[in-house]
Structure 1
Amino acid sequence: MDGRLANTWKLTVNEKKFIETALASNLRIDGRNPLEYRKITIKEDGSSEVQLGQTHVMGLVTGQLVQPYQDRQNEGTLSIFTEFSPMADPSFEPGRPGESAVELGRIVDRGLRESRAVDTESLCVLAGKLVWAIRIDLHILDNGGNLVDAANIAALASLLTFRRPECTLGGEDGQEVTVHPPEVG
């Protein structure tokens, strides 16, 4: 791993001693009390923008109709994608997602799945034929530490504001799917 994200997971002996001493003395580098949370700001409007301390993450949820997986004919899918911008932290490199971006995506994904934040069975439109594939894109705009919490909050806030379009089944055989625009639903 690289940069500040890696340093939060692999601390040197001196860093560990500093943290232990600071905790014992009820001190924090940013001036907060030991039990005081970072200031959090959440903006929502179909997407989310979360600022947690100096960390800034933008989340966007989209959905599209796809064929279900063979082993889960009546369940939709949930995918998490993270993008680390070099503007957010000099250690982030442009291009393909690095190890840190992939790991952050896995952590957010695991949290959402294990908490059952998304009912994947409710994403089924037509069993065995069409389900909703939900995609959460997390863009790291500024890495000021505590990236995991900020990304999780951005993902949840984005999901809360996402409204998938209404669908109706019709046709002679009842297998024709009509997706209605948001203003109709």
Structure 2
Amino acid sequence: MEGRISNAWRLTVNDKNFIKTALLSEIRIDGRKPFEYRKISIKFDRGDGSSEVQIGQTRVMGIVTAQLIQPYKDRPKEGTLSIFTEFSPMADPSFEPGRPGELAVELGRIIDRGLRESRAVDTESLCILAGKYVWAIRIDLHILDNGGNLVDAANIAALAALLTYLRPECSLGGEDGQEVIVHPPEIREPLPLTVHHLPIAITFGFFGNEGILMNSANRSNSQ
């Protein structure tokens, strides 16, 4: 997928031969070793539930929000977790404005599977009233700059945003005790999400018939 997302980047034959020769010598064009990861930077300067991750020249912003919804009938005591991605044309000329394209949907699915299937977030802790009210957690991933490794950067941005998000505290009231009261942060301290573990995505690339393997392939050598 990484190569498809970078489909606007084209290399000449000389460029490809130069990169291949360097890789056979276990040197990348940026000086890193085969399994040396690019520098990772994470910023938390936009308030709770948001993060900005930079890996090399790739930047992804993650923003977490939540709302109360009715749970699925087959999971009355579980909240939900969903991923949405936005590819801005300013991040890469190959990204088209408007509705999410195939690549945006595919990236969202990969991050979604990594978080939901590993059950990283305790969805049962999102239940307020079984069968009636649960929290629906939404993660919006905004691609700000595409320099390759979108899966890795988006995955870390999602996790970082989840770890900093604080959901409102709730209680039950009303005459029948079935009314949900959402308390503002100045009345009751918001609660962090229960995150059991951190599934980290690491991209690997194979090059040529020699079977060269390395992690964190960047845009220029992922073709």
Same topology, TM > 0.5: yes
Note if contact 1:125-1:167 (Cα within 8 Å) is conserved in structure 2.
Answer: yes
Structure 1 equivalent of residue 39 of structure 2 = 39
- Structure 2, gaps ≥5 residues long: 8-13, 190-223
Note if contact 1:6-1:100 (Cα within 8 Å) is conserved in structure 2.
Answer: no
Number of aligned residue pairs: 182
Q: Secondary structure at the match of 2:95?
A: coil
**Deviations, residues 13-64 of structure 1 (Å, cap 9, x unaligned):** x999876644331111222223322111101232000011100000000000
Q: Secondary structure at the match of 1:57?
A: strand
Taking the TM superposition and a 5 Å limit, the aligned residue runs for 1:147-166 are: 147-166=150-169
**Deviations, residues 126-170 of structure 1 (Å, cap 9, x unaligned):** 001000000000000000001100000000000000011000111
Relative to structure 1, is the Cα distance of residues 15 and 117 closer, same or farther in structure 2, using a 3 angstrom cutoff? Answer: farther
Does residue 54 of the first structure (1) align with residue 34 of the second (2)? no
Deviation of 1:72 after TM superposition, in Å, equals 1.1
Q: Secondary structure at the match of 1:75?
A: coil
Which ranges of 4 or more aligned residues in structure 1 deviate by more than 4 Å?
1-4, 14-21
Structure 2 equivalent of residue 121 of structure 1 = 124
Q: Secondary structure at the match of 2:74?
A: coil
Taking the TM superposition and a 5 Å limit, the aligned residue runs for 1:1-185 are: 5=5, 7=7, 21-44=21-44, 45-46=47-48, 47-184=50-187, 185=189
Note if contact 1:64-1:132 (Cα within 8 Å) is conserved in structure 2.
Answer: yes
Q: Distance in 2 between matches of 1:30 and 1:4?
A: 22
Q: Percent identity?
A: 81
Relative to structure 1, is the Cα distance of residues 68 and 36 closer, same or farther in structure 2, using a 3 angstrom cutoff? Answer: same
- Superposition CA RMSD, Å: 2.5
Deviation of 1:183 after TM superposition, in Å, equals 2.5
- Structure 1, gaps ≥5 residues long: 8-13
Q: Distance in 1 between matches of 2:160 and 2:28?
A: 28
Which has a greater percent of helix? 1
Relative to structure 1, is the Cα distance of residues 16 and 105 closer, same or farther in structure 2, using a 3 angstrom cutoff? Answer: farther
Q: Distance in 1 between matches of 2:111 and 2:71?
A: 22
Q: TM-score, normalised by structure 1?
A: 0.89
Q: Report the more deviating stretch, 23-32 or 57-66.
A: 23-32
